[in-house]
Amino acid sequence: MQEIQPTITQRDIICAEIAAPPTAMVVFGASGDLTRRKLLVSLFELFKRGLLNERFYLLGCGRKELSDEKFRQIAQQAIQEESGDTSAKAIEPFIKKLCYISGDYNDTAFHKDIRIKLDELDKKHKVDGCRIFYLAVPPFLYGTIIEHLGSAGLSCPVETDSKQCIRLVVEKPFGRDLQSAVELDKKIHKCFDESQIYRIDHYLGKETVQNILMFRFANTIYEPLWNRNYIDNVQITIAEMIGVEHRASYYDKAGALRDMFQNHMLQMLALVAMEPPISFEADHIRDEKVKLLRSIRPFKPDELDDFIVRGQYGPGSIDGGQIAGYLDEPGVNPGSGTETFVAARLFIDNWRWKGVPFYLRTGKRLARKDTEIAITFKQVPHSMFISAGLDEIPSNILVLQIQPEEGISLQFQAKRPGSKICMGTLNMNFNYRSVFGVDMPEAYQRLLLDCMIGDQTLFNRQDGVEVAWRLLMPVLQAWQNNEASPYEYSAGSSSFPQADSLIESDGRKWRKLGEA
């Protein structure tokens, strides 16, 4: 009997991942937490999936003195702890591709040594393609390292006719305000062209965030309704149960507005509200995101309290355990006025969204971990069931669940078994894990692979960074000048009265964290 071969469809071809070309990755801050927990583990997963080229290698750079062997041991331990793959035999082919060099980031000689080492490793691994410099270091070191890369001749191909491509990956935060973001941009552009720069916001690498574009623009049933005529309000929530953990020294100087709002929150808002791009190309998508951010109504200092509030968690309990307040966290200034919660009401002044409120909130030490986008549609204009006491019919609510239970749900009204007008609210749910049978990949896998293949779609462009900072500068300046402390909320709570009043003054309520 003739064997029937499976048919390869166009959809199968589209879903197939593009493997990376020969790549040299240079990670500054290679002995740090980000490299151990995220970068090495994500690169190993790409290696397991066959998406790393055979001619790939990683050169770790750090101030801590380590031998190649010790760095590989650290990498193996991190991979075993984070990925659950305990087989040293499975990890060994990957960690053989790792090397390490130590020195002072501010030392010109160190960067010359890096260049010599890269030339040596390029020959050994036969890499003549892509060279990526990844800054997994504290932000105050960005300018120093970038300037030395330029002076060492590492920011452009060695030869003008070389096929080699040079890329720079910068972690958030991109500055701590508008002025520092512009200054950082000037330093970067002295050595790198915008086409070489990959500004990472790891939220954009999440499958569920990427799905916002697919959901909106690949389905005809939603886009005609995606406007002020049918949508009553949009709520975007990023709630965390964790506190500041090991990031206290950074977080106490940043706060929730800089750490979450300026990047993650506004990026999700842009994807939800932007106009359709003309094609699925990086700059076309980023153009529309920037246009949307420019359309957000500016904050007026004299009306600030009506549109944005901040809070700081105090002592409380989560899952039965007692939690210290923010001011008692190790590494936090005992008199700190840093916010750990921000809630805001935004308006987008364009044709599509005029008058529709967007409610955003993010906070630490809350009752549940929950990241979602909830779109509430307007109620039916007239109820024909008033005789049965149904003078107000609940709105339809579409929820894009980003994490932890990734999926999509639609809340609607339907006939239930019973009397002639027995009606109830039903939920139609789609869950990624149950449908696809796999855990969602780490966002860094997507972003690292895109960087290696040269796709900037999921990376921020400088004009978008500056627009976001420009929007928030009146808030930052007002909070800096205001001696009043943030409102306190108990660890383990879901909100606090002042944050609730932002939405309740409009006759609406926040969705409960984790609500189906």
Provide the pLDDT for residue 2: 41
Least confident of 66-75, 355-364, 506-515: 506-515
Q: Are 127 and 68 in a shared domain?
A: yes
Last residue of a domain, one of 119, 149, 171: 171
User: Does 109 score more than 60 pLDDT?
Assistant: yes
Q: How far is CA 119 from CA 21, 59, 125, 290, in A?
A: 18, 12, 10, 39
Structure tokens at 396: 């339809």
413 part of a folded domain: yes
Task: Tell me which of 419 and 199 has the higher pLDDT.
Answer: 199
- The CATH code of the domain that includes 47 is 3.40.50.720
77 part of a folded domain: yes
Show the beta-strand stretches assigned E in 368-406: 370-377, 397-403
Provide the pLDDT for residue 420: 62
Q: How many helices (H) and strands (E) does the chain have?
A: 17, 17
Domain that includes residue 72, residue range: 17-171
| pLDDT tens, position by position, 118-148 | 999 999 999 886 899 999 998 899 999 999 9
User: Does 44 score more than 50 pLDDT?
Assistant: yes
198 part of a folded domain: no
Task: Tell me which of 302 and 413 has the higher pLDDT.
Answer: 302
Q: Are 346 and 472 in a shared domain?
A: yes
Do 231 and 373 contact (CB within 8 A), yes or no?
no
513 part of a folded domain: no
Q: Are 369 and 450 in a shared domain?
A: yes
User: Does 417 score more than 80 pLDDT?
Assistant: no
Start-to-end CA distance of the chain, whole Å, equals 51
Owner of token pair 């040299």: 24
Provide the pLDDT for residue 4: 42
User: How many CB atoms neighbour CB 193 within 10 A?
Assistant: 12
Which of 111, 148, 202, 264 is catalytic? The answer is: 264
Structure tokens at 379: 């109620």
Rounded to whole angstroms, how far apart are CA atoms 358 and 131? 41
Q: Are 167 and 211 in a shared domain?
A: no
Q: Is the peptide bond before 497 cis (omega within 30 degrees of 0)?
A: no
User: How many CB atoms neighbour CB 69 within 10 A?
Assistant: 11
DSSP string across 132-145 = EEEE-S-GGGHHHH
Do 150 and 189 contact (CB within 8 A), yes or no?
no
* Residue 262 backbone class (left: φ over 0; alpha: ψ -120 to 50; beta: rest): alpha
Q: Are 359 and 464 in a shared domain?
A: yes
User: How many CB atoms neighbour CB 516 within 10 A?
Assistant: 10
Provide the pLDDT for residue 311: 97
Beta strands at 370-377 and 357-363: parallel, antiparallel or unpaired: unpaired
- Local confidence band at 433 (pLDDT 50, 70, 90 cut-offs): confident
Do 284 and 277 contact (CB within 8 A), yes or no?
yes
Query: Is 264 an active-site residue?
Result: yes
Report the pLDDT averaged over residues 242-248. Answer: 88
Owner of token pair 């960087």: 451
pLDDT, averaged across the chain = 89
User: Does 453 score more than 70 pLDDT?
Assistant: yes
Q: Are 342 and 475 in a shared domain?
A: yes
Provide the pLDDT for residue 11: 52
Q: Are 130 and 223 in a shared domain?
A: no
Indicate the number of domains in the chain.
2
Q: Are 62 and 141 in a shared domain?
A: yes
- Local confidence band at 418 (pLDDT 50, 70, 90 cut-offs): low
Provide the pLDDT for residue 385: 64
User: Does 160 score more than 70 pLDDT?
Assistant: no
Last residue of a domain, one of 171, 187, 220: 171
Provide the pLDDT for residue 380: 78
> Quick one: three-class SS letters along 31-51?
CCHHHHHHHHHHHHHHHHCCC
| Residue 382: half-sphere exposure toward Cβ, Cα within 13 Å | 1
435 part of a folded domain: yes
| Residue 392: half-sphere exposure toward Cβ, Cα within 13 Å | 3
φ/ψ of 269, rounded to 5, equals -60, -45
Q: Are 126 and 252 in a shared domain?
A: no
Q: Are 135 and 266 in a shared domain?
A: no
196 part of a folded domain: no
- The CATH code of the domain that includes 269 is 3.30.360.10
User: Does 290 score more than 70 pLDDT?
Assistant: yes
- Local confidence band at 6 (pLDDT 50, 70, 90 cut-offs): very low
User: Does 159 score more than 80 pLDDT?
Assistant: no
Rounded to whole angstroms, how far apart are CA atoms 216 and 226? 8
Query: H helices within 192-281, ranges in order?
Result: 207-217, 248-254, 256, 266-273
Q: Are 121 and 243 in a shared domain?
A: no
Do 21 and 130 contact (CB within 8 A), yes or no?
yes
Structure tokens at 406: 């990734």
User: How many CB atoms neighbour CB 267 within 10 A?
Assistant: 20
Q: Are 381 and 458 in a shared domain?
A: yes
Cα angle vertex 345, ends 341, 349, to 5°? 145
509 part of a folded domain: no
Q: Taking the C-alpha atoms of 118, 124, 130 and 131 in order, what is their torsion angle to the nearest 10 degrees? A: -20
Rounded to whole angstroms, how far apart are CA atoms 20 and 22? 7
515 part of a folded domain: no
Last residue of a domain, one of 151, 171, 191: 171
Query: H helices within 192-245, ranges in order?
Result: 207-217
Provide the pLDDT for residue 5: 44
Beta bridge partners of 239: 363, 370
- Local confidence band at 459 (pLDDT 50, 70, 90 cut-offs): very high
- Local confidence band at 390 (pLDDT 50, 70, 90 cut-offs): low
Do 169 and 65 contact (CB within 8 A), yes or no?
no
Beta bridge partners of 30: none
| pLDDT tens, position by position, 306-346 | 999 999 999 999 988 999 999 999 999 999 999 999 999 99
φ/ψ of 21, rounded to 5, equals -75, 175
User: Does 17 score more than 90 pLDDT?
Assistant: no
Side chain identity at residue 311, one-letter code: G
User: Does 10 score more than 60 pLDDT?
Assistant: no
pTM of the model: 0.91
